[in-house]
Amino acid sequence: MTEDLNTQLVQVLGRIYPGEDLDDLARRVIDVVWPEGHAPRITQRAPSNDLWSQDDSVLITYGNSVLDGVHKPLDLLYDFLSERLDGVVNSVHILPFFPYTSDDGFAVTDFEKVEPTLGDWPDIQRIGARFHLMSDLVLNHVSSQGKWFNAYRQGQPPYDGFFFEADPKDDLTMVVRPRTTPLLQEVETANGPRNVWCTFSHDQVDLNYANPEVLLEVLRIIRLHVDMGVRILRLDAVAFLWKEIGTPSIHMPQTHAVVQLLRVLTDFLEETVVLLTETNVPKAENLSYFGQSNEAHAIYNFPLPPLILHAMLSGSAKYLRRWQATMPPAPLGCVYLNFTASHDGIGMRPAEGLLPGTEIAQMIQTLTNDGALVSMRTLPDGTASVYELNCGYYPAVARTFKGAEEWHMERFLTSQTIVMSLEGVPAFYIHSMLATPNDLEGVERRGMNRAINRHRWDYETLLERLNDPESDQAKVLHALSERLKLRSRQPAFHPNATQFTLALDERVFGIWRQSLDRRQSVFALHNVSDETVDVPLDALNLIADAHWHDLLSGEEIHPEIETVALAPYQCRWITNTP
């Protein structure tokens, strides 16, 4: 044990558990994270931008996104990754692959096992040996039917103190949450009836982190997952972790202290482990999880999905550009995770204050006319507000505000190219990579809006589509794969390379990227409209005497010409290196 590690643990634990024996608690934390056979680094890993590069990109998928009724889904996933995405992405986020009872894996019954219908730990480890593996640390809650909650109801220590209780008479009016179901659920226990806190659903019961035994148990799980090859820990729903009666119970100081504790521990791990916080909230709240470069390594860039979607539907990058121009670069040792789609819907909370209400209403109207669904959340005053739009991203851009259906695929590819161009690491949901249609049958069969974007492909059918060069699936996967491979060779697309937002025609979203060594510049231009737009070259500030060309088209760009044309939904990556 290093003295510096112990000192830092005592300090941060003191902000979470001021009444505890902090030296003893720090010792217990170290024993859990570094059991026999493990040892911490002698020196703490310093914040740097060396944990990622332009080679990094992430695929987001469920363990059973592809099925054939014969092979283990994790075997099929490994085959798909190896055969179709090798050299395209180098990281894979497998959504919760543990035994569960609801919410497609986010009501976990046992964090120490792999869901048997998917496979087992060796199958997870095989994927982790070939790709950087991301797993979900579902910090906030567990299944109401899991072993922890069953032991709680039976009054078995230490689980009898594992869950957060409240009284229906308590003042809970300030509580912020993303659902409309009742917050408290009454359950019978060996100690009589209790009302337990359920932020998300009554099958997802919130843990009580005021009890340090809960934290220690979660750290044991982290140790197991790291041993099994996990290298990116997604801290699911972390914003709701700490509760106090009479407060909003979101983004509490103790929550940030817990993330700081995890950062200290990962900084001392021999294994390189990255912390990613999942906080689907407005900008300032989301950015707060970088801390002072002492909390999350990475945060989701949650405003991107609604802002890019609005740009593609409206034909104007006005609001996307305005937001991006005000975004700070990620601090040293930190990075943004950029995406447009995930297993959830298109979150609308991050658009609050960024898009006018009339524009949001038009987005909702346009998408729902095409079969998209809407999920709501309850506000503190008891009213309901739009929480997310439920649809796939490929079908989301099927038509514009004007009703135009032409250029569907080009619109989609532009939306994904923007994600590749921005400062940060790009991430792509499997159903975006595969141009998957909305699964309306899945919604009807499963009775949940989010099923619309959680299709499970029959693997044989999928391979037939991918082997047909005229299918949407083949065209989209090929185009995105080629652009990602091209992107990975450009130092100017390092996740922390310089970025400047260009003031261009509002139909064009343009940014300038410059490599960390300042040798390469890329002017990334994206026409979000169905019109041809001429961009003045003097707005790009091309360095004289350099050879400029468009990486995407191969076209040479001569600085002496006055403008460069962008066809409808065309993207250009204009660079000064071969």
With tokens 């139909």, the residue in question is 507
User: DSSP label at 270?
Assistant: S
Q: Which of the residues 123, 236, 439, 505 is marked catalytic? A: 236
Residue 333 backbone class (left: φ over 0; alpha: ψ -120 to 50; beta: rest): left
Q: The tokens of 447 are what?
A: 């009775």
Is 236 among the annotated ligand-binding positions? yes
Is 141 among the annotated ligand-binding positions? yes
Amino acid (one-letter) located at 179: R
What number of other Cβ atoms are within 10 A of residue 402's Cβ?
10
Q: For residues 132 and 73, what is the distance between their CA atoms, to the nearest angstrom?
A: 19
Q: For residues 10 and 23, what is the distance between their CA atoms, to the nearest angstrom?
A: 6
With tokens 């091309």, the residue in question is 542
Is 450 among the annotated ligand-binding positions? yes
Is 235 among the annotated ligand-binding positions? yes
Determine contact, residues 251/238, Cβ cutoff 8 Å: no
Catalytic site includes residue 160: no
Cα torsion for 233, 237, 238, 243, to the nearest 10°?
Answer: -150
Is 343 among the annotated ligand-binding positions? yes
Using the Cα atoms of residue 544, residue 546, residue 550 and residue 555 in order, give the sign of their dihedral.
positive
Strand partners, 135: 233
Determine contact, residues 133/121, Cβ cutoff 8 Å: no
Strand boundaries in 198-330, DSSP class E: 204-206, 230-236, 274-277, 298-300
CA 531 distance to own-chain centroid = 32
Q: For residues 478 and 412, what is the distance between their CA atoms, to the nearest angstrom?
A: 13
What 3-state DSSP class applies to 221? helix
Is 167 among the annotated ligand-binding positions? no
Count CA atoms within 13 Å of residue 290 on its CB side.
Answer: 21
Q: For residues 564 and 562, what is the distance between their CA atoms, to the nearest angstrom?
A: 7
What number of other Cβ atoms are within 10 A of residue 561's Cβ?
8
Q: What does R_g of the chain's alpha carbons equal in angstroms?
A: 24
Using the Cα atoms of residue 381, residue 383, residue 384 and residue 385 in order, give the sign of their dihedral.
negative
Q: For residues 248 and 31, what is the distance between their CA atoms, to the nearest angstrom?
A: 34
Residue stretches of the annotated binding site for substrate = 103, 141, 234-236, 343-344, 450
Residue stretches of the annotated binding site = 103, 141, 234-236, 343-344, 450
Known catalytic residues are 236
